[in-house]
Chains A and B, each alone.
Chain A
Amino acid sequence: MGHGAFSSGLGKGVLPMSLVFYLIAALTVAGGLASMVLKNTVHCALALTVAFAGLALFFLNLDAQFAGFAQILVYIGAVAILVVFAILLTKGSETPKDGVFSRTWLAGLAVAAAVFAVLGWAILHTAPMLPGATPAPAVTVQQIGQALIGRYVLPLEIVAVLLTAALIGAVIVAMHEKEGTK
């Protein structure tokens, strides 16, 4: 079992970069689309995890190892599980009789299409001005840690307070309010 052979194999690119990019893009967008159009709510949640995994692969492809693994840990390990728990607790896995889309679906679709048109136009319009391929930045976890307790210590503290508040808030909101029960 050789030392670090894997990283050297991938770093120089076993496959052309663009093919990997298109594959991950297809996976991510397919997962996202499926999570929004499927009828069964649990299937939607599972498709959502495919989209999350695709995004984590994108992060890894962009040399953001730490963010990629954090994405898997937080989104697939926690948020997706929370979503399926919520679906089962609200009996949401039964498909409703009167369709899964709301009455105003046409307007919603039009708004989303308009947003995509504007964003896409802006990106394609400015594409020639964007920077080209740059060498991969070598970022170690140690640097991220130093930055977190150095320059970004205030946001870190605020996030800590926010997460604590969210934890307590979620428990209180979802707790039974009936008297006599714990």
Chain B
Amino acid sequence: MHNKTIAELSQSLAQGAFSSVELTQAYLERIERFDGQINSYITVAADEALAAAKQADAQIKAGTAGILTGIPLAQKDIFCTNGIKTTCGSKMLDNFISPYDATVISHFKQAGAVMLGKTNMDEFAMGSSNETSFYGAVKNPWDLDAVPGGSSGGSAAVVAARLAPASTGTDTGGSIRQPAALCGITGLKPTYGRVSRYGMIAFASSLDQAGPMARTAEDCALMMNVMAGFDDKDSTSIAREVPDYSVTLNQSLAGLKIGLPKEYFAEGLDNDVAGAVQAAIEAYKKLGAKVVEISLPNTGLSVPAYYVVAPAECSSNLSRFDGVRFGYRCDNPKDLEDLYKRSRGEGFGAEVKRRIMVGAYVLSAGYYDAYYIKAQKARQLISQDFKRAFEKVDVIMGPTSPTVAFNLGEKIDDPITMYLSDAYTIATNLAGLPGLSVPCGFVGQRPVGLQIIGNYFDEARLLNVAHQYQQHTDWHARAPEAFR
């Protein structure tokens, strides 16, 4: 049953082929058996999961079940979960048990989904390889020498390794799409404001967005039906009707206009990755889509602008971790300053500290205009690029990541190279647009992802476009040998 999608599992549960308790138990056993190899979970909530599964079974029996009732899911450890440890991949929160549920978590609870556990991630979602986690690196199920991508590396790995049917991720600069690509799964970063950020530990508030990670676009649609919507606890969430994302999945792609930004196929893109992406584009042509070359001339500004805006916001967002009220506190502080310095110095890892320092610097008196204001202007230019492009095309396609998964340890000491692995994903965060990654091939045994970017609130179209591709290809259905 671990090779079934959510859609299939939901049917089986409804038909009584097996119970949610049996299904949950099966996943817990797989986690027990396999997770030692990939380190994808930080916390496994076996007791809570089985209790929730039992409840779900009662609902299924009573005929009050929804599509997600009884479906086991893994949640990124960035979402606060009432009574269950929420670490955000950091020593700082190793002892933190949230007294409340994130809105995303409560939506899944209301839908009857079962939470298997909390997935590993880069510390405070800062990283592209899942190597900055306090809980150790996650390994790519397709190749244990490779990284799974990040920051939602655990969430991508659990889906690829069949240690959960699907999971949630968050994406600030590519943290859903890049690991989805590197692990050969499907991941959607919705429009900024589409999914509530309440209870999702903030990295960069103006960029963070939660989304689904699953094997298929169809499963992502089913999860989006539960995740999306206005939340009066999040002032940046948008009051706009949520469509049923599953009903438009089968629309024809005839006449679909696809834009290929020439900047996404330029220097820095691996040839084999380019080949896989081009093959996917050809497949779309066969489905009736029209392809035009477009230009996003300010693409080169996105990485530098991002590495001003994101650290600036994070330097402020992470100030609350001060050793005073919750989280890590150093031993025997001799005074207040010592308490701050050592609690933060000992509680945060190197990448987090690097970004806090960069952020504090770009916001400081005398540098604010040169960095922060300029980055905001770059952000405007990037948004305008997309606006012009979407006057001509329906979706934009390109590679999700310039390369397939790199080796563990390969880039961790070279932050600039690491940052460039998000070169194609960052711009959509800066513009607030939705983006999706679908598996579209392999280089050796490592997967390649195709990125599809849509206009604001066009998630239904992205899912439709991805689903149609998955009806004609089987990249998404493949499983890494060791985890079949």
Partners in one complex: no
B→A interface (CB under 8 Å) = none
A positions within 8 Å CB-CB of B: none
